[in-house]
Every structure is written in structure tokens, then in C-alpha cells.
Amino acid sequence: MADNELELVDQAAKRKKILMLGVVLLVLLGAVGAYFWFAGSTPTPASQSDGGTVTEASQPAAMQGTALYIQMPRPFVFNVAGSNRDRLVQIRVQLMVRGDANQALALRHIPLIEGTLLATFSAASADELITTTGKEELKNRALIDLQNAMLGVVGTVVVAEVLFTGFVMQ
């Protein structure tokens, strides 16, 4: 009788182990399936056949994920020509990116970002920068130029928004 009870306990323990192994295997297969499901749905880089300009198809890559902000290491200081006189401008900039991957890409390419923004900013005139609409146009132009530069280097749109956190013109 004792041997029969031990066999029943052993069989129950074996069933329990097999059931646990099945559950672990099922969870593992579900995790692998979920990984391939989400990894297969990543956006593809925009083709370079259109000259590398930002298109609506490439825009969603910068619009996915949590909004993160990157402070430029130093303010942009440059001269702009005006109708009456030249002016000195200082702009502090932060970039809004979406997701950790875009943040890492932006931090890796800070020199490219600074060069592109400085070229865009210094092409403006003082008469444009006096008005609010001129500042907005400059931000939009800077965003487009920056997205095109990053698209050409990394193959994806990294920056979602250019934000002026300080603007001084003398």
C-alpha cells in the first residue's frame, strides 16, 4: 500500500513538472513570437531616389516613442545682416526626439546638428528675425534642414521638433 501511494505521489509530481515545463515553454514561445511580431513592424528608411528630402513616408519614424529633449551644448551666436545695420543673435536650442534610439542617434551626431543649425540660422536676415512669424519660419526651416541632413547620414528622420529656449538679438 505504501509503495502504491509513493507511485501516485511520484506520478503527480511528474505531471506537475511536465505541466510547469509546458507553461514555461508556452510563455517562452509567446515572448519570441511577440519579439518577431514587433521587430518586423519597424519602419524602413526612406529611399534616397528623391534626392534625400524628408517626405511624409519618412516622418513617422521621428514621431514614434516618448518625447525626449536634447539641450545643445552651447548657444548659437552669429551675425545677421539687416536693412539698417547688422545684428548679433544668440539662440539657445533644444531638440525634441522620440524614443531612446533617436536620442542616441542625435547625441552621436551633435557636430552635424550644430553645423546644420548654424548654417540655417546664419542665412536669415535681421528683418526676418524681428517678427514672431520670422522666428517660426526659421524654426521650421531649421527642422527641415536638420531632418534632411540626418536622413542623408543615418537614413532616418531623428529630430521631431526644434525648440528655441532662448533668443536674443542686439
Neighbours of 21 (CB within 10 A): 10
pTM for the full model? 0.61
User: What mean pLDDT comes out for the span 151-167?
Assistant: 92
User: What mean pLDDT comes out for the span 66-93?
Assistant: 91
Per-residue pLDDT at 114 = 94
For residue 23, what is its C-alpha cell? 507553461
Same domain, 80 and 137: yes
Longest dimension (CA), the chain: 109
Question: Containing domain of residue 11, as a range?
Answer: 1-41
Distance CA 75, CA 56 (A): 30
Same domain, 5 and 29: yes
Express as a percent the part of the chain with pLDDT over 70.
Answer: 76
Residue with cell 521638433: 161
Number of folded domains in the chain? 2
* Inter-residue contact 92 to 129 (CB < 8 Å): no
Same domain, 86 and 17: no
Per residue in 108-155, pLDDT tens? Answer: 999 999 999 999 998 998 888 999 999 999 999 999 999 999 999 999
Amino acid at 115: G
Same domain, 32 and 52: no
> Which CATH number is 88's domain given?
3.30.479.30
Same domain, 18 and 88: no
Q: pLDDT band at residue 23, thresholds of 50, 70 and 90?
A: confident
